[in-house]
Amino acid sequence: MLKITKKLEERTLTVEASGRIDTTTAPDFENEIKDSLASVSELILDFSKVEYISSAGLRVLLSAQKIMTKQGSMKLTNVSSEIMEIFEVTGFSDILDIE
């Protein structure tokens, strides 16, 4: 189960995901993000409550990163050590801006 909360302040969109981003929930996660990017120059993904991310979830991050590279920036915040380990093993820690 994945819960998504979005907050738009001027041109900064903060998306807080809570739960698991896997094969089942990744499409919803992707739709929630993509539907909101039109006028956004900064995308902040708050991962403080993300328990797990699968390859399907990683693809969503890559796709969002491609869009945001064209129109601004994207960063991930509050990434747990478990999720960070997944990013490091997959090489995503080199691609993504993680604070």
Closest CA to 50 of 74, 85, 94: 85
| pLDDT tens-digit map of 70-83 | 999 999 999 999 99
Domains for the chain: give ranges and CATH numbers.
Answer: 2-95 (3.30.750.24)
Q: 42 in helix, strand or coil?
A: strand
User: Phi, psi (5° rounding) for residue 82?
Assistant: -65, -45
d(CA 18, CA 93): 20
CA dihedral of 53, 90, 66, 29, whole degrees rounded to 10: -10
Region at 78 (left for phi over 0; alpha for psi -120 to 50; beta for the rest):
left
> Whole-prediction pTM value?
0.95
Q: 86 in helix, strand or coil?
A: helix
| pLDDT tens-digit map of 1-40 | 899 999 999 999 999 999 999 999 999 999 999 999 999 9
